[in-house]
Amino acid sequence: MTERVEHITEARRRLRDAKRIVVKVGTSTLAYGPGRMNLYNIERLVRGLVDAANQGKEMILVSSGAIAAGLSRLGLTEKPAGIPERQAIAAIGQGMLMHIYEKIFAEYGKLAAQVLLTRENSVRHNQYSHSRDALRAMIAMGAIPVVNENDAVTVDEIKIGDNDQLSATVATLVDADALIILSDIDGLYTANPATHPDARIIDEVPEITPDIERLAGGAGSAMGTGGMMTKIEAAKVAMNAGVPMVIAPGARDHVIRDVLAGEPIGTIFPAKESHLRLRKSWIAFGKRIEGDVVVDRGCEKAMRQCGSSLLAAGIVAVDGTFGRGSTVRVLTKDGQEIARGIVNYSNEEIAELMGRQTKDFPASLIQEDNFHEEVIHRDNMVLMV
């Protein structure tokens, strides 16, 4: 990782050529607090999106704020604890939020297209493809899609997750050239600025390592900056899908324009070089992660250098409850994610097989019609390094 630099890096310079850009904005930027919408920031955001679109760029907005808008419409100041009540408020607020967006976009001569997604749209390959086609069609028609998770009908079991993760999923869906996450957090700091006055923003993070995760507030961290871990998870998705991601301050004037000009604002996470094919993209970023397998150094090296399939002999631990056909993460002993893939065996079967050569598998298993030598075949695996 590199700390703040004065010159424009190559990763920043490439943002100048970005054609299709996903911008995510959080509730903290759109509202002063529960039930109090920040119309000044919303208008500034829309102006920035339309200005970029007028330059010939294709813009997609992923917006939080439905519940905050619903609270405002109902005159409430606190979000209720019950799921049905939160869903009802989100349904009320989504209409109000889109009314605000449509009104301001229209004032600048642009159409806004509402898109509500759920986990179901990504876990099924055909729906993943259809969502991709629909978003591209909206862009081709000159509209700016305004995307949010369908909070009125989703519960934890079918949620994509937070809107940071949703924005990375959308960026992957549309083959975006850049993802900009606007937040009240200016970027990734060297320490928590609330408790470390000398903390500095890190300009560029070329790889998500366990140290970066701890810095962002992951396991074992005592200095996490609130909300940063979800952004790091989004960065993993974006980077490995070939999309550079920038965390930038949402309340800054001209922030979208300046980021796309390559200005050293916030923190940039450069993209890996190659874009993934649609099916690989779906495996890595569409399907829900059900568990983890941990591999030894030899297996790690073979996967990194040769893209080898994952064999049971290289597995040292398994975590989570999952069945055959589930998607899992492949981790090093240090906890770094190096791959995602679809497993041929359940967690219980892997626990029994790990560390074994294929020839040492139980005879009953080898004789099955759906026997596999690999725990994850390379065709069903995506490297994340």
| pLDDT per position as a tens digit, 252-280 | 999 999 999 999 999 999 998 655 555 56
* pLDDT at residue 196 tops 50: yes
The gap from C-alpha 187 to its chain's centroid, in whole angstroms, comes to 16
Instruction: For residues 103 and 223, state if they share a domain.
Output: yes
In CATH, what number is assigned to the domain containing residue 195?
3.40.1160.10
**pTM for the model:** 0.77
* Residue that is last in its domain, among 247, 279, 311: 279
Compute the mean pLDDT over every residue in the chain, rounded to the nearest whole number. Answer: 86
Q: Could you give phi then psi for residue 322, rounded to 5 degrees?
A: -155, 160
Q: Residue 297: give the domain boundaries.
A: 288-383
Instruction: For residues 344 and 227, state if they share a domain.
Output: no
Instruction: For residues 249 and 117, state if they share a domain.
Output: yes
Residue written as token pair 């097989």:
353
Give the residue among 239, 241, 196 at the shortest CA–CA distance from 221.
196
Instruction: For residues 44 and 175, state if they share a domain.
Output: yes
In CATH, what number is assigned to the domain containing residue 364?
2.30.130.10
Instruction: For residues 263 and 298, state if they share a domain.
Output: no
* Residue that is last in its domain, among 236, 257, 279: 279
Instruction: For residues 350 and 298, state if they share a domain.
Output: yes
Q: At 1, is the pLDDT very low, low, confident or very high (cuts 50, 70, 90)? A: low
Instruction: For residues 138 and 18, state if they share a domain.
Output: yes
Instruction: For residues 222 and 307, state if they share a domain.
Output: no
Angle, helices 163-173/228-240, rounded to nearest 10 degrees: 10
Q: Which pLDDT belongs to residue 192?
A: 83
Token readout for 217 is 């507030």
Neighbour count for residue 62 (Cβ, 10 Å)? 27
Residue 43 sits at the vertex; the CA angle it makes with 45 and 17, to the nearest 5 degrees, is: 25
DSSP state of 276: P
Angle, helices 228-240/278-285, rounded to nearest 10 degrees: 160
Instruction: For residues 132 and 217, state if they share a domain.
Output: yes
Give me the number of domains the chain comprises.
2
Give the C-alpha separation, 180 to 169, whole Å: 13
Is beta strand 245-249 parallel, antiparallel or unpaired with respect to 267-269?
antiparallel
Instruction: For residues 251 and 294, state if they share a domain.
Output: no
pLDDT tens, position by position, 283-314: 666 677 899 999 999 999 999 888 899 999 99
